[in-house]
């Protein structure tokens, strides 16, 4: 079975199971990261799809939503895991 947190496992800082769903938080060496969620209230969650928000750890060590990353100005929803991985690659390359 495909491990959903690969290939960025070394950058995964935590996983939470809230809102009857899941959230993976990533932090990359460049000070950016991502929150990857799936639950009934996330964009696509009811269909088994993921939502990604870019996080900025330069501002706060817990990470704050980043709307000026150049990747997106909002969250990105309705993603399969391969699309999530592609976005994580872009965040890691910032």
pLDDT given at position 18: 81
What pTM was estimated for this model as a whole? 0.90
Q: Would you call 45 exposed, middle or buried from its count of C-beta atoms within 10 A (0-12, 13-18, 19+)?
A: buried
pLDDT digits (tens, 9 = 90+) for 71-94: 999 999 999 999 999 999 999 999
Q: Where are the chain's structural domains?
A: 9-92
The answer for residues whose C-beta is within 8 angstroms of residue 60's C-beta and 6 or more apart is none
pLDDT digits (tens, 9 = 90+) for 15-63: 999 878 999 999 999 999 999 999 999 999 999 999 999 999 998 999 9
Cβ(62)–Cβ(83) under 8 Å?
Answer: no
- Side-chain-facing half-sphere of 34: CA atoms under 13 Å: 28
């Amino acid at each position: 079975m495909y491990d959903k947190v690969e290939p960025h496992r070394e950058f995964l800082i935590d996983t939470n199971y809230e809102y009857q769903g899941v959230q993976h938080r990533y932090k990359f060496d460049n000070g950016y990261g991502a929150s990857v969620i799936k639950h009934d209230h996330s964009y696509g969650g009811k269909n088994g799809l993921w939502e990604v928000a870019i996080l900025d750890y330069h501002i706060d060590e817990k990470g704050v939503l980043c709307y000026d990353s150049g990747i997106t100005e909002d969250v990105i929803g309705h993603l399969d895991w391969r699309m999530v991985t592609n976005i994580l690659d872009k965040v890691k390359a910032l």
